[in-house]
Amino acid sequence: MKLLVVEDEVRLAQALRRGLQAEGFTVDLAHDGEDGLHRAREGDYAAIVLDVMLPRLSGYRVCQQLRHEGNWVPVLMLSAKDGEYDEADGLDIGADDYLTKPFSYVVLVAHLRALLRRGAPDRPAVLTAGDLTLDPASHTVHRGKQEIALTRREFAVLEVLMRHRGQVVPKSQILTDVWDSHYSGAENVVEVYVGYLRRKVDEPFGRTSLQTIRGAGYRLAADGG
């Protein structure tokens, strides 16, 4: 089985290659994000070990770009410190697993083997409500044929509502799903974001898909409004 290791610390990369070769893997190395992305596109890898902090293009961007292109090769990300998780939390970048440096080699191999057993994840299905569509894989939203540009938070709020289209979703659930569990702000923030969404997915099209259910939460009309 062929693996790609994208890691700019040359000694670590070479140690990983030696160790993984001893486990019976074939290993290609890339030392920056651009080279990693290029190799990931060209090569037929069983999995990719991808460092987060890389020259030229971060591991996050590499993973996001692969997913955007419909490449679902399993990705194990390596992050150097806990703080880097913060970015990962808010971003649905499509990595399959994470390890924080420093990690033990035995743990890396165990994670990798688990990942390989699971294989490439299925591409998430496109969500629809009438002519409103949201593609979690490419992070795009359309009303009919028109693409709508949303921020990451707006996209995440809309995704929650579309996954439960036709049902009332409490503000507290949206908060938990979209903001991390440590978020201590008011539930008002949900209202603000639903307002932003109305101005993008409803008002320009003369629609009312995002409904406020007083005292209960929000509902996205199943027919798209």
Q: How far is the CB of 9 from Ca ion (least distance, A)?
A: 6
Q: How far is the CB of 43 from Ca ion (least distance, A)?
A: 20
Return the range that interacts with Ca ion (CB under 5 A); candidates 45-53, 118-126, 127-135, 202-210: 45-53
Distance CA 65, CA 114 (A): 24
Distance CA 99, CA 121 (A): 19
Return the range that interacts with Ca ion (CB under 5 A); candidates 1-9, 123-131, 167-175, 186-194: 1-9
Q: How far is the CB of 31 from Ca ion (least distance, A)?
A: 9
- Using the rule CB under 5 A, is 189 a contact of Ca ion? no
By DSSP bridging, strand 26-30 and strand 168-169 are unpaired
For 47-58, b/e burial (b = at least 16 CB within 10 A) is bbbbbbbbeebb
- Using the rule CB under 5 A, is 51 a contact of Ca ion? yes
Residue 23, both tokens: 């486990």
Which CA distances in Å does 219 have to 33, 150, 159, 168? 41, 19, 12, 5
Residue 6, both tokens: 């994208």
Distance CA 3, CA 28 (A): 6
For 7-18, b/e burial (b = at least 16 CB within 10 A) is bbbeeebeebbe
Q: Which of 53, 88, 91, 126 binds Ca ion (CB under 5 A)?
A: 53
Phi/psi of residue 75, nearest 5 degrees: -120, 125
Q: How far is the CB of 178 from Ca ion (least distance, A)?
A: 29
Interface characters, 107-146, with Ca ion (x: CB under 5 A): ----------------------------------------
Q: Which of 4, 5, 8, 60 binds Ca ion (CB under 5 A)?
A: 8
| Residue of closest CB approach to Ca ion | 53
Pick between residue 51 and residue 154 the one whose CB is nearest to Ca ion.
Answer: 51
- Using the rule CB under 5 A, is 159 a contact of Ca ion? no
Tell me how many residues contact Ca ion (CB under 5 A).
3
- Using the rule CB under 5 A, is 35 a contact of Ca ion? no
Q: How far is the CB of 28 from Ca ion (least distance, A)?
A: 17
Residues forming contacts to Ca ion in the complex (CB under 5 A) are: 8, 51, 53
